[in-house]
């Protein structure tokens, strides 16, 4: 059964739709890339999926017993975070906040979870460093480790490589792919059509024309566009 089924969704701000008629589904272990031009509504779609803004029409049906606190999210960085005095460990463990329930403090199990995810992201040695002193790639790893603390089944990523240099970008993509290989479903917004082709297995193209399907079908569908881009 699909983790998330989207039926005939319309999204936008202040009852003004920027996209309508979206239908797609995300199954366990899928790697879905959402591509489209700036302003086509990619981020709004992600916010709607997360429940940060409400859909104008249609519905988003969680399946397979998916609960809200089993979804991880890697947002784009906000300006507040740039001068925030906070250590890496504090950020990572805050990913466990939805599992605390009414407990005021983190349990030792949650602390271990945070340590495990820091290790996975290769940032254990940065645990006590201040976030604002880290490089862009390191900061992204920290936020990814936090998202992992929250993600049991699905991970949503909003342009995870924006502002990173090519080497770090490639590392980041490999890291995300390795998470997908472990069975986590990935939904990623990306500008980068080549990375989408390389790593994902499903594509959702939004804009004037909508496309949802497997990567192979997308290649056939968008042959002309793709060859234009490549040349």
Residues that bind another protein (CB under 8 A): 47, 50-52, 67-69, 71-73, 75, 78, 80-81, 83-87, 90-91, 94-95, 97-98, 100, 104-106, 128-133, 146-147, 150, 156
Using CA atoms, how far apart are residues 30 and 14, in angstroms rounded to an integer? 32
Count Cα atoms within 13 angstroms, Cβ side, for 204: 23
The residue among 24 and 131 lying less far from another protein, judged by its C-beta, is: 131
The residue among 91 and 121 lying less far from another protein, judged by its C-beta, is: 91
Residue with token string 């996975």: 120
Using CA atoms, how far apart are residues 218 and 209, in angstroms rounded to an integer? 12
CB of 36 to another protein, least distance (A): 21
The residue among 123 and 193 lying less far from another protein, judged by its C-beta, is: 123
CB of 201 to another protein, least distance (A): 24
Using CA atoms, how far apart are residues 36 and 147, in angstroms rounded to an integer? 24
CB of 90 to another protein, least distance (A): 5
Sheet order of strands, 71-74 included: 71-74, 154-158, 185-190, 31-35, 202-205, 211-214
The residue among 97 and 135 lying less far from another protein, judged by its C-beta, is: 97
CB of 130 to another protein, least distance (A): 3
Say if residues 197 and 215 touch (Cβ distance below 8 Å): yes
């Amino acid at each position: 059964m699909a983790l998330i089924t989207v039926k005939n969704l319309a999204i936008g701000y202040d009852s003004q739709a920027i996209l309508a008629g979206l239908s797609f589904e995300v199954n366990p272990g899928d790697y879905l890339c959402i591509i489209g031009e700036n302003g086509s509504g990619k981020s709004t779609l992600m916010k709607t999926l997360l429940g940060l803004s409400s859909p104008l029409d249609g519905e988003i049906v969680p399946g397979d017993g998916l609960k809200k606190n089993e979804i991880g999210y890697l947002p784009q960085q906000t300006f507040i975070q740039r001068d925030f005095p906070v250590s890496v460990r504090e950020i990572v463990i805050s990913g466990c906040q939805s599992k605390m329930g009414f407990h005021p403090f983190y349990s030792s199990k949650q602390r271990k979870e945070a340590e495990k995810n820091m290790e996975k992201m290769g940032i254990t040695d940065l645990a006590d460093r201040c976030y604002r002193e880290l490089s862009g790639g390191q900061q992204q790893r920290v936020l990814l480790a936090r998202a992992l603390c929250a993600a049991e089944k699905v991970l949503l990523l909003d342009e995870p490589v924006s502002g990173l240099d090519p080497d770090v970008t490639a590392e980041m993509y490999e890291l995300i792919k390795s998470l997908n290989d472990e069975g986590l479903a990935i939904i990623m917004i990306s500008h980068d059509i080549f990375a989408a082709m390389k790593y994902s297995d499903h594509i959702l193209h939004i804009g004037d024309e909508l496309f949802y399907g497997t990567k192979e079908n997308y290649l056939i569908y968008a042959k002309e566009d793709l060859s234009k881009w490549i040349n």
